[in-house]
């Protein structure tokens, strides 16, 4: 037996009317707030410094690498920056795990 999955005109009309109600945020404050809804944290994040991280800590890491590796030219500078990003992102799983363990311990203590 074969079932037909056609959408009725009434369903299409209802969907079109409902979609007009869902306009999303209108103000700049609202747009900024929802702009971070889908931020991934981890190796695939587009954002290098997440909201709960210290940008100064990353800048210190980058400066230390520049001092130790003393890059000359664009290629070497780019490599130093890539190294700093790799080191910074390698800390994310550890931070995430530590946060999870801390949160779990608080649940059991309370």
How do residues 30-52 score in pLDDT, each as one tens digit? 887 777 666 555 555 667 777 77
Cα–Cα nearest to 41, from 81, 3, 92: 92
In this prediction, residue 44 carries a pLDDT of 58
pLDDT, the chain, mean: 78
In the block, residue with structure tokens 């920056």: 81
Please enumerate in sequence order all residues whose Cβ is within 8 A of that of 88, keeping only pairs 6 or more positions apart, or say none: 48, 58, 61
Q: How far is 95 from 92, CA to CA, in rounded Å? A: 5
Q: What is the DSSP string of 14-39?
A: HHHHHHHH-----SHHHHHHHTTTT-
- The full set of domain ranges for the chain reads 9-109
Query: 19 or 106, which is more confident?
Result: 19
């Amino acid at each position: 037996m074969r079932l037909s999955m056609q959408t009725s005109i009434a369903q299409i009309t209802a969907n079109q009317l409902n979609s007009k109600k869902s306009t999303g945020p209108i103000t700049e404050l609202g747009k900024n707030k929802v702009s971070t809804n889908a931020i991934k944290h981890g190796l695939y994040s587009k954002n290098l410094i997440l909201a709960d991280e210290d940008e100064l800590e990353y800048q210190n890491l980058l400066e230390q690498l520049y001092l130790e590796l003393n890059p000359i030219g664009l290629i070497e500078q780019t490599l130093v920056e890539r190294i700093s990003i790799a080191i910074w992102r390698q800390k994310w799983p550890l931070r995430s795990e530590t946060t999870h363990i801390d949160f779990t311990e608080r649940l059991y203590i309370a």
